[in-house]
Amino acid sequence: MIKYIFREVSRGLSLGLRRFSDVKVTENVADSPAFPHLTEQASLYVHWPYCLRRCTYCNFNKYIPKEVNEDIMAKCLQRETETLLQLSQISCITSVFFGGGTPSLAHPSTIAKILETVSKQVYLSDEAEVTLEVNPTPVGMSKLKDFHFVGVNRFSIGVQSLQDEHLKSLGRDHSYLEALQTLEEARRLCPGGVSVDIMFGRPEQTIESWSNELSEILRVCDDHVSLYQLTLERGTQLFKQVHCGQVTMPTEEMTAEMYRCARKTLQQHGFQQYEVSNFAKNNSESRHNLSYWKGKQYIGVGPGAHGRFVPIGEGGTAREARTQTLEPDVWICEVQQRGHGTRRRIQLGHLELLEEVLVMGMRMTKGINHKHWELFNPELGLHEIFGASPVVQELLQSGQLILDDRGLRCSWDGLALLDSILPVLLLELDKQSFPKAAS
């Protein structure tokens, strides 16, 4: 999916989301004539839930089946896409992202069918960004040409590590040489449209080895790099290995130093950091992921996919957070029976929507500009909410945060401390929205 975004949103939001049934929406986006573009467009995320094997660190929604009935899966993904597009009443899909799991295991004809379904129902420009996550195995590589032929114009390649012994111990199903070959083929097909995912803070990784890896990444990468700090997730094999002392993770100080080193090195080589984990040059930022960080609508189809949109088709007037059923076989039955596998719908109140806009927007180096904020909250500007707060003033004076005529954003140093800045900002937003309850 969009990697850590959803988890961080759910971790970051102090108030939680209200249940669909007991919400009284005070204000909503769809009602206002000032926001038509917020409800007329969306991006589309499609989740392919299958993998060949389980990486030791991964707790994404993925399954290792004996076999996959791809025909049924493709039909259900198409049907759910149709249903949710209809429900949202949008007229344009701005970008599509096939994530997983391992979507490069899908047949290119499945990807083609889903894109055709979208194009039949709404406007999907030929220029729209269409990304596919690729596991750099020989099988994945052999299909890149066909994926490109059916409309994929951006590849996100899960390189993860440049050290074979690390790839092996993390349970990856590829070698570094295979990653290099996949990268080369992807760059040949989509020059300027290839991203690599690398993790740092891996077991047994040192600052020196990371620095060498960074030099090698810069030598082989295209115009986009995503660097994720390895999160130790409960329930994973890695979690158990660390807890029984079999594997050692780098210290917090070491991972902070790795992050600092990566930001500096990438910047020196012409990569602009545009988000906590994302770096690009030659205007190759991921338009799809930017749409999440800018608080735009998105539709999520496939097992466990998330979405945020106003269900105008059934009379909805407020944005909903939607989650599809996790387990693929159950999801398939639900889609066959009722056209979609939506398991959870939570209506976002005005404050919850603003919290999401804040948490997502502050991940970008540009932060949130005044116009952007005004779209969601015309009544109370950023200066009014945050300007008078003594705790926010402290962050401004210490140079971690910037609030000026452009808007609100983290400084270079502040971005590395975003996890500790966000609770302060969320509390302030909360106080300003419900002054009596919070005081």
Ligand X SMILES: C[S@@+](CC[C@H](N)C(=O)[O-])C[C@H]1O[C@@H](n2cnc3c(N)ncnc32)[C@H](O)[C@@H]1O
For 119, the 3-state DSSP assignment is helix
Separation between Cα atoms, residue 369 and residue 230, nearest integer Å: 30
61 near ligand SF4 (CB under 6 A): no
For 31-97, give the DSSP string.
T-TT-HHHHHEEEEEEEE-B-SS--TT--SS-B--S---HHHHHHHHHHHHHHHHHHHT-SEEEEEE
- Contact between 3 and ligand X by CB under 6 A: the answer reads yes
Residue 54 binding ligand SF4, by CB under 6 A = yes
Site for ligand X in 112-171 (CB under 6 A): 133, 135, 158, 160
> Among residue numbers 230 through 269, which ones bind ligand X (CB under 6 A)?
230-231, 233
Q: Which of residues 116-135 bind ligand SF4 (CB under 6 A)?
A: 135
| 20: Cα separation from own chain's centroid | 24
Q: Which of 12, 101, 108, 136 binds ligand SF4 (CB under 6 A)?
A: 101
β 224-229/129-134 pair status: unpaired
Measured from the CB atom, the residue of 416 and 427 that comes closer to ligand X is 416
Strands 92-100, 129-134: pairing kind: parallel
Report the distance separating Cα 309 and Cα 125, nearest Å: 20
Site string for ligand X, 56-75 (x = CB under 6 A): -xx-x---------------
> Quick check: 152 and 111 in contact, CB under 8 A?
yes
Q: Which two tokens stand for residue 63?
A: 């399954």
Q: Does 341 bind ligand SF4 (CB under 6 A)?
A: no
Tell me if 170 sits within 8 A of 215, measured CB to CB. no
Choices 107-115, 139-147, 228-236, 315-323 (CB under 6 A): range interacting with ligand X: 228-236
3 binds, among ligand X, ligand SF4, none (CB under 5 to 8 A by kind): ligand X
Region binding ligand X by CB under 6 A among candidate stretches 70-78, 223-231, 258-266, 363-371: 223-231
Q: Which of 2, 94, 100, 367 binds ligand SF4 (CB under 6 A)?
A: 100
The pair of structure tokens assigned to 42 is 């969306």
Residue 55 sits in the site that holds ligand SF4 (CB under 6 A): yes
Are 295 and 317 in contact by the 8 Å Cβ rule? The answer is no
Residues numbered 143 to 162 that lie near ligand SF4 (CB under 6 A) are 158
Q: Which residues pair with 402 in a beta bridge?
A: 409
φ/ψ (deg, to 5) at 332: -60, -45
The SS3 call for residue 143 is coil
Choose the contact partner of 228 out of ligand SF4, ligand X, none; CB within 5 to 8 A by kind: ligand X
Examine residue 88 and tell whether it contacts ligand X (CB under 6 A). no
Residue of 43, 78, 95, 102 interacting with ligand SF4 (CB under 6 A): 102
Per CB under 6 A, contacts with ligand SF4 among 174-213 are none
Q: Which two tokens stand for residue 325?
A: 């059923």
Which residues would be at the binding site for ligand X (CB under 6 A)?
3, 57-58, 60, 100, 102, 133, 135, 158, 160, 197, 199, 228, 230-231, 233
Which residues would be at the binding site for ligand SF4 (CB under 6 A)?
51, 54-55, 58, 60, 62, 100-102, 135, 158
